[in-house]
Structure 1
Amino acid sequence: MILKEKTEPESLIRLRRLVTRLQDPSPYLHELRNREQGYKYECQLQFFLDRILYQYRSIIILHDIRIPIKRTSFQMDCLLLTPNFGLIIETKGLSGKMSFTQNGQFFHYDKGEIYNPISQVIEQRDRLSDFLSLDNYQFEYVVCLGNPSVSLSTDSSSEWVLDRVIPFDQLKDFIGRLFKKYPQPLIEKNRMINIGKYLKSSHKDDLHRFYNISSSIVEPGVICPECFRLRMERTRYRWRCMHCGHISKDAHLEDILDWFSMINHVKITNSECKFFLAIDSSRTATTLLKNCERLSLVDKKRWSYYILK
């Protein structure tokens, strides 16, 4: 049972839109390709989960869960809930070589700097256990590698990592071993479903923000949701793409989020909205801002502005 479907990461959405808005996107193209590749492999995870669900029907799946706690949050690529145990799956679509040494505490990736995936998923497990406080119910973890060209090496003290960092096609056997490790159900199916619904209701998306980008290199305008090119024109109550002719009533909503992601992370004024959406009318800008459900008005007479809810 899939309680929360896989969705495209917010960071990938904003990065793709940033590339569209830059006159010279070359510094970000490599990162965009890597993120798109990673997302492709993340989507393939469900194929391997389907091979498991027919055998273990009482499994609940939640993809892309982000739980905010006070001023911080924790995020999981995929969470499985069974009556016997929970399983956090961290997916990686990297190529190249990953190596673990000194009992898995030291990690090296030959193509750049990334967090130790073992430490990352253990932190997710600890945060989830604290958040739910379920007596005797254990959360296990695994890192699944989607790219078949990745290689993994360990020293003698870190060989246990090979049981926790596995290719997608070993996931079925891994889960089978967990059912042997936890043979007795600890929670009833209805309670398990309620826990899943509680986690889903606690999930909150977070707008990805870019820092250290000069606003002068970010092109204004509304991006067409059909052909993904800039400069839709505003007609009466609608947007029309000058390139493909696509018509949209709400194409500007993502562009307002672009402003908070790329230009000003705190607020937007009427004049800034008018500039960034490349429209002529201040009245139209005001209408679009007031009707945007994700914004709240901070009314200070002449100096009114809008913030994200």
Structure 2
Amino acid sequence: MIIKERRTPVVVSGLQLLLTRLLPHYPLRTYLEDELAKYLSGHKGEQSIDFHLKDLPQKEYLIFHNLRIPHNNSFFQLDILILTPNYFFIIEVKNFSGKLYFDQDLFQLIRTYNGLEETFADPISQLKRQRYCLMDWLKDHHSVEIPVEAVVVISNPQTQIKVSPGRTEVYKWISHKINLPEKIRYFDKKHSEERLSMKDLRKLSKALLKAHTSPTPNLLQKYQISQDDIVKGVSWPSCGLIPMIRNKRKWFCPSCKCYSKSAHIQALKDYALLFGPTITNSQFRDFIQLESRTIAKKLLLSMDLPTSGELRHRKYHLDFDEWLSLIHI
């Protein structure tokens, strides 16, 4: 049973948005397009794992996608977490092509693809840290001690995997996605004793969902993009025109001659992704290119957003998870 569904990563949504709100000849556009392709590849790799999990018994396997849990003034993130009454299972997904060499002497991953050799941080070390953090969180917050298994899953079946000479024990931490069902059957046999009841698992599921914290990456800071480089205004998704014009209590697109009463909602989502989850009336007017403070206030109040502060210092809070689920109008 899927308890937490997979969503499009915030960084993917943010980069897609950046590319629509940057000028066509912006110097970093090609680099940002490459970054987007990289993150999309990882997302598609995670999606491809779903086929190999679909036959798990619905009531006995509780599946979480992309959990991000606070721990010791930081966070640990799990691509996939599966809870069972007997053990828990962490899956770290990597969508690499070519040849992979897991160097466990220097703790690095070396990929050779199209004649180019690249070095990455060791995903096994990353996985072991995630496993430790989860076990520590379970013990500290819920007094739960249960076996936790973990595997790095390579989602591309054509990727060749090698490890350091004499370090064959490392293979227990790595698997192609096609072998994932067999891994789960192995763990099922290995852990035959029930440690938690389904009632306890459901209670723990609620605690994990409550603890989950969505990332809020500052893409402008990460890619050193000035706010002046962002094209402001309400956009119309059909033609991509920015800005739309406020006319007769509606938003009007001069290009396709269409009207919308609520196109500013998408603009708020854009703002949340680019600048953060709070906005003032002044910031709202500047971003959607609207002069009237009164109209801006009415638009903001009509959405029943949580607020803090008074009068000109009032901030409107944009729920990040909720705003990410909004679609273009």
Closer/same/farther in 2, CA of residues 33 and 246 from structure 1, 3 Å limit: farther
Please, which moves more after superposition, 152-161 or 223-232? 223-232
**Letter in structure 2 aligned against 1:3:** I
Structure 1: gaps spanning 5 or more residues: none
Q: Give % identity.
A: 30
- The TM-score, its normalising length taken from structure 2, stands at 0.80
Report what 2:209 is aligned to: 200
Asked whether the 8 Å contact 1:101–1:157 carries over to 2, the reply is no
**Letter in structure 2 aligned against 1:129:** M
- 1:7 and 1:241 map into 2 onto residues whose CA distance is 30
- 2:277 and 2:50 map into 1 onto residues whose CA distance is 37
- 1:222 and 1:149 map into 2 onto residues whose CA distance is 44
Which of 33, 39, 54 in structure 1 is aligned with 2:37? 33
Superposed CA RMSD: 2.9
Report what 1:83 is aligned to: 85
Asked whether the 8 Å contact 1:102–1:157 carries over to 2, the reply is no
Deviation at 1:171, TM superposition (A): 0.3
Deviation at 1:205, TM superposition (A): 2.0
Report what 2:76 is aligned to: 74
Asked whether the 8 Å contact 1:104–1:161 carries over to 2, the reply is no
**Letter in structure 2 aligned against 1:275:** D
Asked whether the 8 Å contact 1:270–1:286 carries over to 2, the reply is yes
**Letter in structure 2 aligned against 1:297:** S
- 1:114 and 1:281 map into 2 onto residues whose CA distance is 51
- 1:253 and 1:70 map into 2 onto residues whose CA distance is 36
Number of residue pairs aligned between Structure 1 and Structure 2: 305
Deviation at 1:197, TM superposition (A): 2.3
- 2:254 and 2:133 map into 1 onto residues whose CA distance is 49
Closer/same/farther in 2, CA of residues 302 and 172 from structure 1, 3 Å limit: closer
Q: Which residues in structure 2 correspond to 1:149-298 (within 5 Å)?
A: 149-210=158-219, 211=221, 212-225=224-237, 230-236=242-248, 238-242=250-254, 249-262=261-274, 264-265=275-276, 268-291=279-302, 296-298=307-309
Closer/same/farther in 2, CA of residues 185 and 27 from structure 1, 3 Å limit: same
**Letter in structure 2 aligned against 1:138:** P
Whether 2:50 is the aligned partner of 1:62: answer no
Whether 2:15 is the aligned partner of 1:15: answer yes
Deviation at 1:44, TM superposition (A): 1.8
- 2:303 and 2:119 map into 1 onto residues whose CA distance is 38
Deviation at 1:89, TM superposition (A): 1.0
Report what 2:96 is aligned to: 94
- 1:308 and 1:109 map into 2 onto residues whose CA distance is 41
Secondary structure class of the residue paired with 2:121: coil
- 1:165 and 1:241 map into 2 onto residues whose CA distance is 52
Secondary structure class of the residue paired with 1:95: coil
- The TM-score, its normalising length taken from structure 1, stands at 0.84
Please, which moves more after superposition, 107-116 or 175-184? 107-116
> Deviation digits for residues 104-161 of structure 1, max 9, x if unmatched?
7233345656432212222222222122214441111111121234332211243333
Closer/same/farther in 2, CA of residues 302 and 173 from structure 1, 3 Å limit: closer
Structure 2: gaps spanning 5 or more residues: 320-329
